[in-house]
Amino acid sequence: RQEAAAVAHYQATTQKAYDTVLGMPIPTIAMIRGYCIGGGTALAVCCDIRICTENAKFGVPAAKLGLGYGMNRAKPLVDLIGPAYAKEMFFTGRQFTAQEAEKMGLVNRVVADDQLETVVGEMARTIVENAPLTVKCAKLVVGEVLKDPENRDIAATERAVEACFKSQDYKEGQAAFMEKRKPRFIGA
């Protein structure tokens, strides 16, 4: 990234990757072991859930490299951890421990190194076993909440909620609850 054209290409390419993860209609889980610095942190922030090991390190060393973070890169981090922690990350460029990351809300959970795959796998299975339309609706609604009010698609959220209530999965969920059994959702 020595020349303006190279910087522009890098920014556009990485932003496309981040936007792809942010725009996924299904839940995404970042499984983080070890260092998650700069672009790694930016990518992890794009995921819905972040699980890391006890020895994970996080940071945005832009201030130590003379790099600028624009709105597209800063907003997801600020939305996730708030302006005070985001400023500390941006201003200091220091590395944060997994425990600090959990405290600031950067990660959902810190687990032992040998439990990372198990915990992430169990969480993924739990999500997959839930009602797909409800999970999709929740992801959509939370995404819209994070947008500026004038950019929110309230109608889309209402359609998603309505689709849940009209679904076979809603009937199945009620029946399974009454029969004290595990529901068998089909996504319709």
Token reading at 141: 């609604």
Widest distance between CA atoms in the chain: 65
In tens digits, the chain (188 residues) has pLDDT values of 678 899 889 889 999 999 999 999 899 999 999 999 999 999 999 999 999 999 999 999 999 999 888 888 899 999 999 999 999 999 999 999 999 999 999 999 999 999 999 999 999 999 999 999 999 999 999 999 999 999 999 999 999 999 999 999 999 999 999 999 999 999 99
Look at residue 70 in the predicted model and tell me its pLDDT.
85
Q: Cα separation of 166 and 178, whole Å?
A: 19
SS3 111: strand
Look at residue 69 in the predicted model and tell me its pLDDT.
85
DSSP bridge partners of 29: 49
Whether the CB-CB separation of 173 and 185 falls below 8 Å is answered with yes
Look at residue 79 in the predicted model and tell me its pLDDT.
94
Token reading at 20: 């792809």
Residues 116-154 have pLDDT tens digits of 999 999 999 999 999 999 999 999 999 999 999 999 999
